[in-house]
Amino acid sequence: MSRVDAARSARRHERSLRTDRSGATALEFAIVAPLLLALSFSILEAGWMMTKAMLLDRSLDIAVRAVRTAKDAPKSQVEMKKAVCGRMLIVPDCEAALLIEMTPVKSAADFPTTGATCVDRGAAIQPVVSFSTGDEGQIMYVRACLVSDPLAPFMGLGLQMNKDSKGGYSLVSASAFMNEPRS
Neighbours of 128 (CB within 10 A): 10
Count CB atoms within 10 A of the CB of residue 182: 11
Q: Compute the average pLDDT of residues 142-164.
A: 84
- Please determine, for residue 47, whether its predicted confidence score (pLDDT) is greater than 80: yes
CA distances from 143 to 64, 107, 176 (A): 10, 17, 9
pLDDT of 173 above 90 = yes
CB 182 within 8 A of CB 134: no
Strands 169-178 and 139-148: antiparallel
pLDDT band at 115 (very low <50, low <70, confident <90, very high): confident
Between 11 and 28, the higher pLDDT residue: 28
Enumerate the domain spans of the chain: 46-178
Selection from 183, 173, 100 nearest residue 137 by Cα: 183
Question: What's the DSSP call for residue 131?
Answer: B
